Amino acid sequence: MTAYLKLDHIDKSFARGGSTTEVLREVSLDIAKGEYISVIGHSGCGKSTLLNIVAGLTPVTNGGVILEGVEVNSPGPDRAVVFQNHSLLPWLSVYDNVKLAVDKVFSGVKSRAERHEWCVHNLDLVQMGHARDRRPSEISGGMKQRVGIARALAMQPKVLLLDEPFGALDALTRAHLQDSVMQIHASLGNTVIMITHDVDEAVLLSDRIVMMTNGPAAGIGDVLDVPMARPRRRLELVTDPAYLKCREAVLKFLYERHRFVEAA
């Protein structure tokens, strides 16, 4: 099987002043179309660097990213990113934030009326249709993240890249948004790479969990298959032996095999 998205022997070093930091070494992963992949690992191991490489925002030192057989090394609408700190333009309404991305991607393809419908459709998908005329400063953090997700989905990307998208949210808002993302993934079949620090979130949402070793020169330590059937319901999973087993495997990886050691 050829991978839909291939991370091919990626090395990444940053040079600063006279010194070089090796952040990633030999990161390789084949991702199938529609797969939901989580990346988990201790702080500073290089998760965001890896996501930024896939997004084309950070150049690799060696290796490459191949999407549908074509190497990608600059940003493009085929890979949409949602950051932890909502990156909405504060002077535009919710609707116009989504419209900006839609116009950029679809101006030659969809008519003005179709683009309007598409913006409304994607805002409805994340239950934000009612707030489309508000500015980012007038909505909550969870609502901003919903708009960020709507904006990303509206670009119809081949790959959705989520960098701790729920990290700054309270537990209840986080759970609601996780459920929305699961529903969207079920209906649209997006290919997703999501960075998270949250073990339960990784197990709940993912088909596979990529566990990174500690840096410097971090790599993929292990990849865990998450076998529970979908749709998944969080309350039912609490007692599901497969869920508990996955959770334990990730915790063991993080806290026994690759314990975080504070730099002296």
Ligand X SMILES: Nc1ncnc2c1ncn2[C@@H]1O[C@H](COP(=O)(O)OP(=O)(O)OP(=O)(O)O)[C@@H](O)[C@H]1O
Nearer to ligand X, 16 or 112 (CB): 16
Strand order from edge to edge, sheet including 70-71:
19-31, 5-16, 62-67, 70-71
| Least Å from the CB of residue 49 to ligand X | 3
79 binds ligand X per the rule CB under 6 A: no
| Least Å from the CB of residue 60 to ligand X | 13
CA distance 88 to 64: 29
The pattern of x and - marking residues 8 through 37 that bind ligand X according to CB under 6 A reads ------x-x----x-x--------------
Contact pick of 38, 49, 122, 213 for ligand X (by CB under 6 A): 49
Contact pick of 7, 36, 38, 47 for ligand X (by CB under 6 A): 47
Binding range to ligand X, per CB under 6 A, among 43-51, 128-136, 222-230, 233-241: 43-51
Q: Do the bridges between strand 191-195 and strand 19-31 make them parallel or antiparallel, or are there none, so unpaired? A: unpaired
The pattern of x and - marking residues 181 through 220 that bind ligand X according to CB under 6 A reads ----------------------------------x-----
Binding range to ligand X, per CB under 6 A, among 41-49, 75-83, 114-122, 227-235: 41-49
| Least Å from the CB of residue 50 to ligand X | 7
Q: Is 261 left (phi over 0), alpha (psi -120 to 50) or beta?
A: beta
User: How many chain residues touch ligand X (CB under 6 A)?
Assistant: 13
The SS3 call for residue 94 is helix
141 touches 173 (CB < 8 A)? yes
Nearer to ligand X, 23 or 211 (CB): 23
CA distance 196 to 206: 11
Burial 230-242 (b: 16+ CB within 10 A, else e): eebeeeebeebee
Residue among 15, 9, 57, 7 at smallest CA distance from 35: 7
Contact pick of 38, 46, 125, 136 for ligand X (by CB under 6 A): 46
| Least Å from the CB of residue 6 to ligand X | 20
DSSP, res 256: I
Say if residue 231 is preceded by a cis peptide, omega within 30 of 0: yes
CA distance 64 to 167: 28
71 touches 151 (CB < 8 A)? no
Contact pick of 45, 72, 149, 181 for ligand X (by CB under 6 A): 45
Nearer to ligand X, 122 or 206 (CB): 206
Summarize as ranges the residues that interact with ligand X (CB under 6 A). 14, 16, 21, 23, 41, 43-49, 215
